[in-house]
Amino acid sequence: MMGRPKTRWIFLLSLILVLTAFSMAPKQGQAGKFVGTAVCIDCHQTWLDNNPETADVVSGAVSIDYPPLNLLNHRDGNSPFYTIPEGYVNSIHNIPRFDLTKTDQVPCEACHGGGQAHFGLGSIPFPIPNTKTCGGCHNLTHGFDLTTFLQTSHSNPNSRPAKFFDQSRFGTAQAKIGANSPEKSSAVPVGTLLFKEGTFDQLGGPVSRDNRIEECSVCHQYALQYPQFRDKIAQGNLPRKPEVSCGACHDSHIVAPDGLDPAIVTSTVVVTVSSPLSVSAVPGRQVSYLNHKPYKVNAGGAQDVHNGIWNRGSAISRPQTAIIKGNCAVTTGTDGCNLITLTCDLCPGVGGFVKSQVKEGDTVLISGVASTTVNLPSDAALAGRTIAVQATLDKDAFEVIQVIDDKTVLVNAPIERSTNVTYVLAADKTKTKTLSVNVSFCGLSVDFEVRDMFTNTEDLCMSCHTRGAYKYTKFGKKSDGSVVDLSPSHNKNIGAQYKSSGHTDRLAPAWEEFFIFGGHDLNWPYDMSITGSGGVNSFRNKGKRTFTLTATPDNTLAYLGSRGNINVPATAGSFNCLQCHNGLTALDYLKDVQGTDAASVVWGDATLTCITCHDPHEKGEKGSNVRVPVKLSYNSRFVHSTKNPRGGINKMMDGTDIPDGVGTGVICLFCHQGRESGLTVYLNITSVGGDPYGEPNEVIREGAGINFSNPHYLESGAVLWSKNSWEFLAVSGAPIPNKYSSGITAHQTTNCAGCHMAEASANDFEGGHTWRPKIEVCQECHGSSIKTFHDVKASADWDGDGVIETAFEEIGTVLDPVAGTGDSGLRGQVRQALEALGIFYDPNSNPYFFTGPDSATRYTAWTTNTLAAAFNLQFMYKAGNCVAWHNPWYAAQILQDSLKVINAPVKPWVRPTGGIQRNATDYRTIIVNP
């Protein structure tokens, strides 16, 4: 009887001691006694970071820019892999920027725990630091909200999958489909046994539970795929909750350029004048370096532990090391002098284009000097006199379009550059004209580098968000003995869908024109904090070329840029277009930090990337982690020097409120609402003294005229919500104020994602992240008789030709001057009506409206009504054929009213009356900067 109370007391005392010990235990990153960083480095000095497979080290199956940016100057370049200590000692964790004399700022044991037991080859407390470890330092002060991140799918707040993923426990027993297996279905029932490589007739060996846990870890618990951690699977010593932690995407051993060797952008310049005009280098800023973790991916994007390559996944500031560099001769190719040829048979350290794995799409950076002479024309004050122009290229960019052999590469354009020489006229020395002078490098030797200038941040995301193949599981055997193919991984094939989309089409002009070899003269790295206009003493991003007038009889009568100037260095500072035309520069606009010290220094050509639309650190609306722009619309007409220096408003471009139903589609509207609106047309007119409502038929700014306000492209999102075109308050035969449809509710409820990102088709060609709409979505409302989008019938005879046609035919087309086809429906009628007024429209040629059918002279004698009608025609044309499906009611109303105000021949147009009718926007009531 006495034994029981004694046992109870022993148990209680033990419990108290355990709880006391638990409460006194150090937090993660502090457990155990420290041995010091030097001891860690001494033992791990040969450990390659991420411990890649031996086969990868031997074969060199890695991307050329695998070494992090801040290691390039510390390595011999022979190996793309680096050791853990090598990365750490050169990182900001070791040497802080604020004190370059200090080392061991964040010691190894701060993240992994005290190493005393591990020093004796025991376990280290935290071999796989989790998100909370990083969040201890990387808090809101560093722009990271741990609380928010812990709510995201990456942090796995629901603990699904669980510790052993879809297996009940670890071990060597054969794995099977469990109740939580993603493949579980009527075709693959619970209990289906898993087998390795083989055939349907001859299965391979069984997949063990440990094998299954390892292959799931590739995405769900990244560290367990590496050799040093695989033993933990066999021990069941797994993290309690799988997560895509900070370490899954970022390499903590090299978190940023270090203090001793920071990656500084040196391409910032200030424009100065000391006759001639010149630029001087100024201290640059550090690159925006995220240091994404290397992943082994195959060509499709999914992780492939057998056949992939180690890829950095890239940071925004991808290193982009040279593939090959040397000296070459510029010779005649298929398109002028666009052939470059190595100038030596055995160039030391070069190896040739083929041997160096140069490929189509790579960038050739040319540096050299060339000059030419020309005679001034007969109307010049210095008629017939000779001038000499010199062009200096400093890594000017061209695209590789063909690798012919080891010594020869064809580039996309002749290696030549043009500048304008201004000359004074003989007849009137107060007037000038310009002479275009082309300087060719044909027949010269130049220095070159070939680089892959494309960022690839999307590869990191696609290493998991693409359907790949399991490392071990190939087949499943059901209880009835039948066999099923289980080799494709269960994740959605988002990466493959994305790769086929227009968002990643590198050949599309919207992207290619803004690549480093495109027509907009970008130069990487590009500092998004610089907003200078290019005037004297303004900061700019350094350009790639300089022109110098090396010989002229009189530099006050023939000069470059301004009277007396003989030097014009190219600079670049305006990045307005980069709001949409580069998927990484867009991030600064989405955060509304462009032009500030918080803006990025960006490297590399990029299309739309995953992180453009998704923020992996945020849960987002409905858990979607879709970015929400701080301000939706930017326009120079909204700029106020103190209230709104960057010209952004969190409204539609026409100054009206963002519709309540937009939801996550707001990220689409960010680029798909056009760049001008009815409001900006109004502001353009009033800025030069015009009266849009009081004198709608009077020429604006008599004599000087006014330029056309181009809405640009991709207005389809605004059309969906009945926004941004010019809306008329009163037109002939219409009520005052005029009424417009607020849009088709069913289309708006379905929203951008509902149509363009519906369930992907089996071949991943439609829906999902292809953004190609599926006709099945339309058939849900319009019926199965609709076979194509063009089949949708209009509700009435909108174009007044006496026949109710399809919505596409009623809205119509515009005559294509090149093809000579088109001109139908309402769009064709507006074009014809403008032409009758002497306003000729060429949709393929900027500035789009001309004084004659074959004239190159822009039309400027606009009235409010003609400018509004032309704007609406361009708005509805550049939005594409989709206006007939997104919102044909609004499009028809806008085009009909445009016809009425320019007195087009009256037709029995039937005005659409569908949806909620609202009053036209009165632009006089819009206050941009209250």
Contact assessment for residue 829 and residue 812, using Cβ atoms and an 8 Å cutoff: yes
Structure tokens at 287: 């690159």
Structure tokens at 602: 């960006």
Read off the pLDDT of residues 89-122 as tens digits, 9 standing for 90 and up.
Answer: 988 899 988 888 899 999 999 999 999 999 888 8
Determine the Cα–Cα distance for residues 583 and 791; give it in Å rounded to an integer: 35
Where do runs of H (alpha helix) occur along 788-882? 807-811, 825-836, 864-878
Determine the Cα–Cα distance for residues 155 and 624; give it in Å rounded to an integer: 14
pLDDT of residue 346: 54
pLDDT of residue 591: 96
Name the 3-class secondary structure at 581. helix
Q: Would you give the distance in Å from CA 688 to the centre of its chain?
A: 37
- Mean pLDDT across 330-338: 92
Judge residue 53's burial from the number of C-beta atoms within 10 Å of its C-beta, 0-12 exposed, 13-18 middle, 19 or more buried: middle
Read off the pLDDT of residues 403-425 as tens digits, 9 standing for 90 and up.
Answer: 999 999 999 999 999 999 999 99
Nearest one of 214, 220, 173 to 194, comparing CA atoms? 173
Contact assessment for residue 279 and residue 571, using Cβ atoms and an 8 Å cutoff: yes
Number of neighbouring beta carbons within 10 Å of residue 186: 5
Lowest mean pLDDT among 63-67, 336-340, 570-574: 63-67
- Mean pLDDT across 266-290: 82
pLDDT category of residue 572 using cuts at 50, 70 and 90: confident
Number of neighbouring beta carbons within 10 Å of residue 58: 8
Quick check: 18 pLDDT over 50? no
DSSP state of 458: H
Nearest one of 675, 627, 620, 632 to 656, comparing CA atoms? 632
Contacts 24+ apart (CB under 8 A), 833-836: 833/869, 833/899, 833/902, 833/903, 833/904, 833/905, 834/866, 834/869, 834/870, 834/873, 834/902, 836/904
Structure tokens at 190: 């619970």
Determine the Cα–Cα distance for residues 381 and 427; give it in Å rounded to an integer: 8
Q: What does the CA dihedral 515, 577, 394, 390 come to, rounded to 10 degrees?
A: 120
Determine the Cα–Cα distance for residues 87 and 71; give it in Å rounded to an integer: 7
Q: How far is CA 783 from CA 573, 583, 720, in A?
A: 52, 38, 21
Vertex 363: Cα angle to 362 and 369 (nearest 5) = 150
pLDDT of residue 816: 86
Percentage, residues of the chain above pLDDT 90: 69
Q: What is the residue-averaged pLDDT of the chain?
A: 90
Determine the Cα–Cα distance for residues 137 and 150; give it in Å rounded to an integer: 15
Nearest one of 699, 183, 760 to 487, comparing CA atoms? 183
pLDDT of residue 345: 64
Q: Would you give the distance in Å from CA 227 to the centre of its chain?
A: 35
Lowest mean pLDDT among 226-240, 441-455, 648-662: 226-240
Residue, of 681 and 306, whose pLDDT is higher: 681
Number of neighbouring beta carbons within 10 Å of residue 589: 25
pLDDT category of residue 225 using cuts at 50, 70 and 90: confident
Number of neighbouring beta carbons within 10 Å of residue 835: 14
DSSP state of 473: -
pLDDT of residue 4: 43
Side chain identity, residue 603? W
CA atoms within 13 A on the CB side of 262: 16
- Mean pLDDT across 183-197: 96
Quick check: 616 pLDDT over 50? yes
DSSP state of 125: S
pLDDT of residue 68: 73
Contact assessment for residue 376 and residue 384, using Cβ atoms and an 8 Å cutoff: yes
Quick check: 27 pLDDT over 60? no
pLDDT of residue 6: 46
Where do runs of H (alpha helix) occur along 324-479? 457-462
Residue length of the chain: 930
pTM: 0.92
Quick check: 22 pLDDT over 60? no
Read off the pLDDT of residues 522-539 as tens digits, 9 standing for 90 and up.
Answer: 888 889 998 876 778 888
Read off the pLDDT of residues 885-930 as tens digits, 9 standing for 90 and up.
Answer: 999 999 999 999 999 999 999 999 999 999 999 999 999 999 999 9
Determine the Cα–Cα distance for residues 919 and 930; give it in Å rounded to an integer: 23
Which element (helix H / strand E) includes 38? helix 37-44
Number of neighbouring beta carbons within 10 Å of residue 630: 12
Read off the pLDDT of residues 657-696 as tens digits, 9 standing for 90 and up.
Answer: 999 999 999 999 999 999 999 999 999 999 999 999 999 9
Contact assessment for residue 549 and residue 437, using Cβ atoms and an 8 Å cutoff: no
**Which of 67-81, 144-158, 257-271 tops mean pLDDT?**
144-158
